[in-house]
Amino acid sequence: KKYYCDYCQKYIQNDRNIIKNHLNGIPHQNARFDHYLKCKDINQILDEELNKKPCRNFHENKNCIFDTRCRFSHYTRRKLDKLQRKAQQIEHNRFVAKLPKPINATLDEFMEKRTKRIIRENIEYKPFWKYPENLIQENKELPPSLQEIQPKLIQLDFEEWG
Protein backbone atom coordinates (compact mmCIF):
# COMPACT_ATOMS: atom_id res chain seq x y z
CA LYS A 1 0.00 0.00 0.00
CA LYS A 2 1.21 3.50 -0.85
CA TYR A 3 0.85 6.85 0.90
CA TYR A 4 -0.86 9.62 -1.10
CA CYS A 5 0.19 13.21 -0.47
CA ASP A 6 -2.78 15.54 -1.07
CA TYR A 7 -0.58 18.63 -1.38
CA CYS A 8 1.86 17.17 -3.93
CA GLN A 9 -0.73 14.87 -5.52
CA LYS A 10 1.61 11.91 -5.73
CA TYR A 11 1.98 8.45 -4.24
CA ILE A 12 4.93 7.59 -1.98
CA GLN A 13 6.07 4.31 -0.53
CA ASN A 14 4.37 3.81 2.84
CA ASP A 15 7.48 3.87 5.01
CA ARG A 16 7.78 6.17 8.03
CA ASN A 17 11.24 7.50 7.12
CA ILE A 18 10.36 8.10 3.46
CA ILE A 19 7.17 9.94 4.44
CA LYS A 20 9.08 11.99 7.02
CA ASN A 21 11.69 12.97 4.42
CA HIS A 22 8.95 13.86 1.96
CA LEU A 23 7.12 16.04 4.51
CA ASN A 24 10.36 17.90 5.30
CA GLY A 25 11.23 18.34 1.61
CA ILE A 26 11.06 21.70 -0.12
CA PRO A 27 8.64 20.62 -2.92
CA HIS A 28 6.13 19.37 -0.31
CA GLN A 29 6.48 22.51 1.82
CA ASN A 30 6.00 24.71 -1.27
CA ALA A 31 2.90 22.76 -2.31
CA ARG A 32 1.54 22.95 1.26
CA PHE A 33 2.22 26.71 1.40
CA ASP A 34 0.44 27.25 -1.94
CA HIS A 35 -2.54 25.21 -0.75
CA TYR A 36 -3.00 27.26 2.43
CA LEU A 37 -2.41 30.49 0.53
CA LYS A 38 -5.67 29.80 -1.33
CA CYS A 39 -7.49 29.47 2.01
CA LYS A 40 -6.25 32.76 3.48
CA ASP A 41 -8.68 35.53 4.31
CA ILE A 42 -8.52 38.60 2.06
CA ASN A 43 -7.84 40.90 5.02
CA GLN A 44 -4.93 38.70 6.11
CA ILE A 45 -3.41 38.74 2.61
CA LEU A 46 -3.90 42.50 2.40
CA ASP A 47 -2.19 43.09 5.77
CA GLU A 48 0.77 40.93 4.78
CA GLU A 49 1.18 42.51 1.34
CA LEU A 50 0.86 46.09 2.58
CA ASN A 51 3.73 45.52 5.03
CA LYS A 52 6.04 44.16 2.31
CA LYS A 53 8.23 46.21 0.00
CA PRO A 54 7.73 45.70 -3.76
CA CYS A 55 9.81 42.90 -5.33
CA ARG A 56 12.26 44.50 -7.75
CA ASN A 57 12.85 41.30 -9.74
CA PHE A 58 9.15 40.64 -10.23
CA HIS A 59 8.25 44.20 -11.27
CA GLU A 60 11.24 44.65 -13.61
CA ASN A 61 11.53 41.17 -15.13
CA LYS A 62 7.96 39.91 -14.50
CA ASN A 63 9.61 36.86 -12.95
CA CYS A 64 10.76 35.96 -9.44
CA ILE A 65 12.43 32.67 -8.54
CA PHE A 66 10.77 32.69 -5.09
CA ASP A 67 7.24 32.97 -6.52
CA THR A 68 4.61 33.11 -3.71
CA ARG A 69 7.22 32.55 -0.99
CA CYS A 70 9.07 35.77 -1.82
CA ARG A 71 9.50 38.07 1.16
CA PHE A 72 8.72 41.04 -1.09
CA SER A 73 5.34 41.91 -2.56
CA HIS A 74 4.39 40.87 -6.09
CA TYR A 75 1.19 42.96 -6.01
CA THR A 76 1.01 46.18 -8.00
CA ARG A 77 -0.64 49.25 -6.49
CA ARG A 78 -3.69 48.63 -8.71
CA LYS A 79 -4.01 45.01 -7.50
CA LEU A 80 -3.70 46.12 -3.87
CA ASP A 81 -6.42 48.74 -4.38
CA LYS A 82 -8.68 46.14 -6.00
CA LEU A 83 -8.03 43.73 -3.11
CA GLN A 84 -8.78 46.49 -0.61
CA ARG A 85 -12.10 47.32 -2.33
CA LYS A 86 -13.04 43.65 -2.32
CA ALA A 87 -12.25 43.40 1.42
CA GLN A 88 -14.35 46.50 2.09
CA GLN A 89 -17.23 45.04 0.06
CA ILE A 90 -17.11 41.80 2.06
CA GLU A 91 -17.05 43.75 5.32
CA HIS A 92 -20.00 45.87 4.15
CA ASN A 93 -21.97 42.72 3.22
CA ARG A 94 -21.31 41.26 6.68
CA PHE A 95 -22.47 44.51 8.29
CA VAL A 96 -25.66 44.62 6.20
CA ALA A 97 -26.41 40.98 7.02
CA LYS A 98 -26.24 41.78 10.75
CA LEU A 99 -28.72 44.67 10.49
CA PRO A 100 -32.22 43.89 11.78
CA LYS A 101 -34.87 43.26 9.17
CA PRO A 102 -37.54 45.91 8.61
CA ILE A 103 -40.51 45.58 10.95
CA ASN A 104 -43.00 44.98 8.13
CA ALA A 105 -40.98 42.03 6.80
CA THR A 106 -40.61 40.58 10.30
CA LEU A 107 -44.33 41.01 10.98
CA ASP A 108 -45.24 39.42 7.64
CA GLU A 109 -42.98 36.45 8.41
CA PHE A 110 -44.57 36.05 11.84
CA MET A 111 -48.11 36.18 10.48
CA GLU A 112 -47.26 33.72 7.71
CA LYS A 113 -45.73 31.25 10.18
CA ARG A 114 -48.68 31.69 12.53
CA THR A 115 -51.19 31.03 9.75
CA LYS A 116 -49.32 27.90 8.65
CA ARG A 117 -49.16 26.65 12.24
CA ILE A 118 -52.88 27.23 12.75
CA ILE A 119 -53.68 25.35 9.54
CA ARG A 120 -51.22 22.54 10.34
CA GLU A 121 -52.41 22.08 13.92
CA ASN A 122 -56.05 22.63 12.94
CA ILE A 123 -56.47 25.26 15.65
CA GLU A 124 -59.82 26.95 15.86
CA TYR A 125 -59.56 30.68 16.47
CA LYS A 126 -61.54 31.81 19.49
CA PRO A 127 -61.67 35.43 20.58
CA PHE A 128 -60.10 35.89 24.00
CA TRP A 129 -62.90 38.23 25.11
CA LYS A 130 -66.63 38.18 24.51
CA TYR A 131 -68.97 41.14 24.72
CA PRO A 132 -71.48 40.95 27.53
CA GLU A 133 -75.05 40.34 26.34
CA ASN A 134 -76.40 43.59 27.79
CA LEU A 135 -73.77 45.59 25.81
CA ILE A 136 -74.65 43.87 22.55
CA GLN A 137 -78.30 44.90 22.87
CA GLU A 138 -77.37 48.48 23.75
CA ASN A 139 -74.83 48.55 20.93
CA LYS A 140 -76.32 51.57 19.20
CA GLU A 141 -75.78 53.83 22.20
CA LEU A 142 -72.08 53.01 22.60
CA PRO A 143 -69.32 55.07 20.96
CA PRO A 144 -67.73 53.39 17.90
CA SER A 145 -64.58 52.45 19.82
CA LEU A 146 -66.64 50.35 22.27
CA GLN A 147 -69.01 48.77 19.76
CA GLU A 148 -68.57 45.13 18.81
CA ILE A 149 -66.11 44.61 15.96
CA GLN A 150 -67.78 43.47 12.77
CA PRO A 151 -66.19 40.33 11.19
CA LYS A 152 -65.86 42.11 7.83
CA LEU A 153 -63.63 44.76 9.46
CA ILE A 154 -61.20 42.13 10.76
CA GLN A 155 -60.38 41.05 7.20
CA LEU A 156 -59.50 44.59 6.01
CA ASP A 157 -55.84 45.47 5.48
CA PHE A 158 -54.90 48.83 7.02
CA GLU A 159 -51.38 49.76 5.95
CA GLU A 160 -51.50 53.35 7.19
CA TRP A 161 -53.16 54.87 10.20
CA GLY A 162 -54.63 58.31 10.34
**DSSP assignment of 21-37:** HHHHSHHHHHHHHHHHH
| Sequence-ordered list of residues with C-beta below 8 angstroms from that of 31, at least 6 positions apart, any chain | 5, 7, 8, 9
60 and 18 together in one domain: no
Task: Please give the tally of structural domains in the chain.
Answer: 2
- C-beta separation of 87 from 42 below 8 A: yes
Instruction: Report the range of poorest mean pLDDT among 17-31, 68-82, 111-125, 127-141.
Output: 127-141
Q: Which domain holds residue 80?
A: 41-140
Residue pLDDT, tens place only, 88-98? 999 999 988 88
Q: How many helices (H) and strands (E) does the chain have?
A: 8, 2
Residue 149 forms part of a structural domain: no
pTM: 0.48
What is the phi/psi pair of residue 151, to 5°?
Answer: -60, -30
57 and 123 together in one domain: yes
How far, in Å, CA of 107 to CA of 96, rounded?
Answer: 20
Residue pLDDT, tens place only, 110-156? 888 888 887 777 766 666 667 777 766 666 677 777 777 776 666 66
User: Does residue 109 surpass a pLDDT of 60?
Assistant: yes
